[in-house]
Amino acid sequence: MTEFAPTILGRTGLKVGRLGVAASYGAPAPAFEAAFERGCNYFYLGSGRHRSGMRRAIGHICRKGHRDRLVVAVQTYARFGNFSAFTLKRSLRSMGIDYADIFILGWHNRPPSNRLMERALKLQGQGLFKYLGMSGHNRPLFPALTASEAFDLFHVRYNAAHRGAEKDVFAKMPAENRVGIVTYTATRWAHLLDPKKMPPGEKAPEASDCYRFVLSNPNVDVCMCGPKDMGQMQTALKTLELGPLTSHELQRMQRIGDHVHQHSKGFFG
């Protein structure tokens, strides 16, 4: 079985491991360092709590001389240019680094304001980050924004229960000068792991099954995972060696996803 080998993140040219790691759930620094040693170099810091473990891991990795192998993504939910600059600079200071590889404008369901974009591009011109990304839940907005070429990648929700991105985003992205795609909520907030939410007679998947489902789609560059401890990180890392789902496994995950979506309504359906 073929492993999930590193890939190039769209038009950024950055070489990334297929499994990204998020700071928000409290995993300790050794867990993130173990992921880095397995080739997981896409490190995402949102605005949530419990980020100290990733900050320490980034410091350790950089002190070992590996900053050039890291892809650090910082997200802000700020809607004003000055505050977005403040949050980016604060995040960089907390990690002890001079720049982020990616700056993400978070949770935009309509085009970001001109002032916010102007400020972001000014920060980029100052060398505080290299590539600009955006996240949101209005799927048709992503293809519409590719024409401006301001964004180098998008963070998109995608999992076995929420597959709308397949037709609303992936199928409509231009093939040339391709924008990078990073996905999140692969386990649908753990609903896809809950035995109580399964179809009758169906065993609940493991987290690695959910990540494999996402990464089996060729349009996805990076699938985010959010471990809270070393055990969850090790479970996630199994994804890399197991590789893509077989057709039978893929059908199983779709069947489970359809059932969860129908019977377990939650955030954004």
**Longest alpha-carbon distance in the chain:** 57
Tell which wins on pLDDT, 264 or 137.
137
Tell which wins on pLDDT, 46 or 76.
76
Share of the chain above pLDDT 90, in %: 89
Share of the chain above pLDDT 70, in %: 96
192, 160 Cβ separation under 8 angstroms: yes
Residue 47 pLDDT greater than 80, yes or no: no
pLDDT per residue as tens digits for the range 123-152: 999 999 999 999 999 999 999 999 888 999
Residue 3 pLDDT greater than 90, yes or no: no
pTM for this predicted structure: 0.95
Residue 97 pLDDT greater than 60, yes or no: yes
Residue 38 pLDDT greater than 90, yes or no: yes
User: Could you give the CA distance from residue 213 to residue 82 in angstroms, rounded to a whole number?
Assistant: 39
Residue 22 pLDDT greater than 90, yes or no: yes
Residue 1 pLDDT greater than 60, yes or no: no
Mean pLDDT of 80-89: 89
Helix (H, G, I), strand (E, B) or coil at 77: coil
Nearest to 120 by CA among 158, 161, 89: 89
Return mean pLDDT, the chain: 94
pLDDT of residue 265: 67
Please report which residue ranges of the chain form alpha helices under DSSP H. 29-37, 52-63, 81-95, 114-125, 141-145, 165-168, 207-215, 230-242, 247-263
84, 119 Cβ separation under 8 angstroms: yes
Mean pLDDT of 87-116: 95
pLDDT of residue 83: 87
pLDDT per residue as tens digits for the range 208-228: 999 999 999 999 999 999 999
User: Could you give the CA distance from residue 88 to residue 103 in angstroms, rounded to a whole number?
Assistant: 8
38, 68 Cβ separation under 8 angstroms: no
pLDDT per residue as tens digits for the range 162-218: 999 999 999 999 999 999 999 999 999 999 999 999 999 999 999 999 999 999 999
Using pLDDT thresholds of 50, 70 and 90, give the confidence band for residue 24: confident
Phi-psi label, residue 26: left if phi above 0, alpha if psi -120 to 50, beta otherwise:
left
User: Could you give the CA distance from residue 201 to residue 203 in angstroms, rounded to a whole number?
Assistant: 7
Mean pLDDT of 109-131: 96
Mean pLDDT of 36-43: 98
Domains of the chain (ranges, CATH numbers): 7-263 (3.20.20.100)
pLDDT of residue 81: 76
